[in-house]
Structures are given as C-alpha cells and as structure tokens.
Homo-oligomer: A and B are copies of this chain.
Amino acid sequence: MNGGIALGQMVQPKKVVEMEVQQGTIHIQHYCVYLIPVNHKPCSSVEAIMPSKPEILNRGTVARSRLFRADEIHLRFSNGEVRTYEKLCTGGPGAVLIVPLLDENTVLLVREYAVGIEDYHLALPKGAMDLGESLLEAANRELKEEVGYGARQLKFLKRIHLSPAYMEHGINLVLAWDLYPERLPGDEPEPIEVVPYPLDRLLELVMRPDVCEGRSIAALFMAREWLAGNLSLEST
C-alpha cells in the first residue's frame, strides 16, 4: 500500500482521501481510515495516535450501600461530545487472586458459594487486601485462609479489571508455588472445599459449567504459559 499509512494509524479527516491499494481492505469509519489486512502477515505496529483523554467536567456520588458506591461523571470528549456515565467505585486498597501451584501440573482451586450467582462455583482463591499489606503478603494470607497452604515463592503476574467500561475494580493476579501446609482462620461461613486440578486438563476445566469466573480462566491460561516458559515476568 502506498502513502505510508501504518496499520492501525488514524488519518486526520480530509474531504478527499487519495491512496492506492495493493492488498488489503480500506475501511472508512467516520473520519478515520484503517487498513485491515486480508492475509496472515503479522501487523508491523498496532500503535495509533489516540485522541487525548476526555475532560472530566464534574463527578458526584449517586448511590451508596455498605459495599458499593456509584458515581456519576460528566465528560467532554476531545471531539466536543459531552456524555454522562455512571461507574462503580472501589473503597479499599485492592484485591488479589492467587494461582496456587502445588506442583508444575497441579493448581489448587476452591469451591464455594457465591451470592452473585446464588450457586456454588469452582475458581481460584482471592480476597481483599488489608490496609498496610503488600500485594504478595495479601496473596499469601488469602492462600493460608482459603486453601490451607503458604507459599515460599510468590510472583506478581498482571493486574486485570472486571469491566473497565463501568467499574473501577481491578484485581492483582499472583502466582504462588513452593507451597507448605499452613492455615490461618478465615471468615468463611462454611469450610471451603479445596480442589486440586491438573493443568494438562485446563480446557476440560474451563468448559465446566461450574467454572464461570472470567478472571480465573484468564489467570489459569496465563499461569500455564508461564509454567511453559512462554511468559517473562518482571521481578517484583
């Protein structure tokens, strides 16, 4: 393709856009032009000139309960569009989700009742961080409370969000291995069932109807890639 337009690059509006196409589909979207590849050649760049962030005109809390707070936010986008959105805000210092690896092919899951779906389900252990606690300290404490193991090795994997579109809530994924039995009392209403599961049956696991938590599924796939040596993590 001539014209020097990189894949994903946004082109400023023109009344007439002139270019020659050698291979690909030109996709005109409002005032942007995208090149979508039709062959399998990896794109050379996915970076783009992003519009600047919307200006926050004002915000205020519109609903609050013991656990939740919803804020309303008025925004002006860089193109002048004004919108009003609601978002759920967090209160505490954050949360951790742990991938406890008993050995290189066994992950420890927990089965517990979840009031959101009003059913039992199978997922990775997780919990809120306490004030003053580091991310890895919180992960090890939750592991001891929910699974009955401590970890001699812990590593931050990635911070992910539940629904960036309307929730502030994120959770920090932590790998835990070199485990040893240690239990701390938790605040669960009934004993949590600990379920060891072989990672070489991960696809069977994620298709189970009682495995339904998106962030646990994401963390399990990422942990498997890390175990296979395909993910390099920065030291924490």
- Among residues of B, the one whose C-beta sits closest to the C-beta of A63 is B65
A160 touches B217 (CB 8 A): yes
Give which listed residue, B54, B168, B206, B207, contacts A116 with CB less than 8 A.
Answer: B168
Name the B residues within 8 Å of A119 (CB-CB).
53, 164
Given A63-B65, A67-B70, 13 more contacts at CB 8 Å? Answer: A32-B193, A40-B198, A46-B197, A67-B86, A67-B166, A73-B115, A116-B166, A116-B168, A158-B212, A161-B213, A203-B231, A214-B214, A214-B219
Q: Is residue A165 within 8 Å, beta carbon to beta carbon, of the partner chain?
A: yes
Give which listed residue, B63, B64, B115, contacts A165 with CB less than 8 A.
Answer: B115
A217 touches B221 (CB 8 A): yes
| CB proximity to B under 8 Å, residues A57-94 | 62-68, 70, 72-73, 75, 77-79, 81, 83, 85-88
B214 touches A102 (CB 8 A): no
B63 touches A191 (CB 8 A): no
| 18 chain-A/chain-B pairs, Cβ below 8 angstroms | A27-B181, A27-B194, A29-B183, A29-B192, A34-B193, A48-B193, A63-B63, A67-B86, A68-B88, A114-B165, A115-B165, A116-B168, A117-B170, A123-B164, A162-B162, A163-B169, A171-B214, A214-B214
